[in-house]
């Protein structure tokens, strides 16, 4: 197995993709809007991916946070609120916010599981920092580390209850960025002491089974390399100070924050200590190059991948309890006086 997660070009596999995926044997896949038409088509696609590999549990992933980061959308799927909705409720009723976030995440997971999706890149544990770029913005659960960790924990628990593994992101913290990492590389000049607040939610939830790096330079730790490509940040900060021992993925290596060819980025990220490289854009030349430069998956990464997927399940359909969970969420969010 190759330690890479690949995108797919469309709603069905092309013959070239099918042959390549069978030969390369990537760790898993990520889905985007270009892969999604309706529930029947999407489930057929994920069933097809599982059939290629014959693995009982396959990493099929998606970015489904709610708000502006949602690949599954109405009318075929439920609309979910952005993270800020739970922050607003937490300000007046913390226990209700935690319960609403958990119910929301379980309902979301029941939908994802029915689509054959086993990993959701959610929750983001990035603090909202005044004056920063809004690439995080309303996705965040707030400015307070304890609050962010409390809501994040509820989401991890809710996703797991629905048979989906969550993923904490973007380690060691994306909230201070001054640019969108899809377009440019941010440099964070905060001191190590100041960055303790950014690390706190990740440290609290360091038992999470899956985590993701961020493409930011932190001058306090490594002034030359973004976290994704920094052995120092991964070894000393993510694995060390945060204490994360789960499956560590890169953020999308196609982002313009990183330089060099896509295979070069993949090799550097893996050498720095990332378990698995995430490559989203389904460009065959890039994927082929990645398979050529990455070694076979290590025993340690294989064990982390197995642990991450152990509690996942693919359901035959959306469980009826999803409707009750959504009603519970809406009733709790209504306490803020705004709709979900």
DSSP type of residue 227: G
Three-class SS of residue 16? helix
DSSP type of residue 10: S
Q: Are 195 and 165 in contact (CB under 8 A)?
A: no
* 40: enclosing H helix or E strand: helix 39-53
Question: Quick one: how many helices (H) and strands (E) in the chain?
Answer: 11, 12
Task: Give the separation between CA 111 and CA 105, rounded to whole angstroms.
Answer: 10
Q: Which residues have a catalytic role annotated? A: 182, 251
Task: Give the separation between CA 260 and CA 273, rounded to whole angstroms.
Answer: 18
Q: Are 91 and 101 in contact (CB under 8 A)?
A: no
Q: Helices marked H in 162-244 — which ranges?
A: 192-204, 231-232
- Structure-token match 């976030």, residue found: 101
Q: What is the CA radius of gyration of the chain?
A: 19
């Amino acid at each position: 197995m190759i330690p890479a997660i690949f995108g797919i070009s469309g709603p069905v596999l092309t013959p070239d993709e099918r042959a390549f995926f069978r030969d390369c044997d990537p760790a898993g896949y990520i889905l985007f809007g270009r892969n999604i038409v309706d529930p029947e088509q999407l489930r057929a696609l994920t069933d097809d991916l599982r059939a290629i590999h014959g693995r009982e549990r396959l990493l099929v992933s998606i970015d489904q946070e709610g708000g502006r980061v949602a690949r599954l959308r109405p009318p075929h799927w439920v609309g979910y609120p952005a993270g800020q909705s739970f922050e607003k409720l937490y300000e007046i009723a913390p226990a209700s916010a935690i319960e609403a976030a958990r119910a929301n995440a379980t309902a979301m997971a029941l939908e994802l599981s029915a689509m054959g999706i086993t990993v959701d890149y959610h929750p983001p544990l990035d603090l909202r920092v005044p004056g920063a770029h809004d690439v995080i913005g309303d996705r965040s659960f707030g400015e307070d580390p304890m609050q962010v960790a409390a809501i994040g924990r509820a989401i991890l628990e809710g996703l797991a209850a629905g048979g989906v593994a969550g993923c904490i992101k973007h380690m060691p913290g994306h909230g201070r960025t001054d640019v969108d990492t899809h377009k440019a590389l941010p440099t964070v000049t905060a001191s190590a002491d100041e960055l303790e607040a950014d690390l706190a939610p990740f440290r609290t939830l360091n038992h999470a089974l899956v985590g993701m790096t961020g493409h930011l330079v932190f001058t306090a730790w490594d002034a030359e390399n973004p976290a994704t490509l920094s052995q120092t940040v991964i070894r000393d900060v993510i694995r060390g100070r945060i204490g994360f021992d789960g499956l560590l993925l890169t953020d999308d290596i196609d982002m313009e924050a990183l330089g060099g060819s896509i295979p070069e980025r993949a090799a550097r990220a893996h050498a720095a200590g990332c378990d698995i490289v995430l490559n989203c854009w389904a460009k065959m030349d890039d994927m082929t190059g990645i398979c050529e430069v990455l070694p076979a998956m290590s025993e340690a990464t294989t064990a982390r991948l197995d642990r991450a997927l152990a509690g996942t399940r693919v359901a035959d359909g959306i469980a009826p309890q999803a409707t009750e969970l959504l009603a519970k969420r809406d009733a709790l969010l209504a306490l803020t006086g705004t709709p979900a």
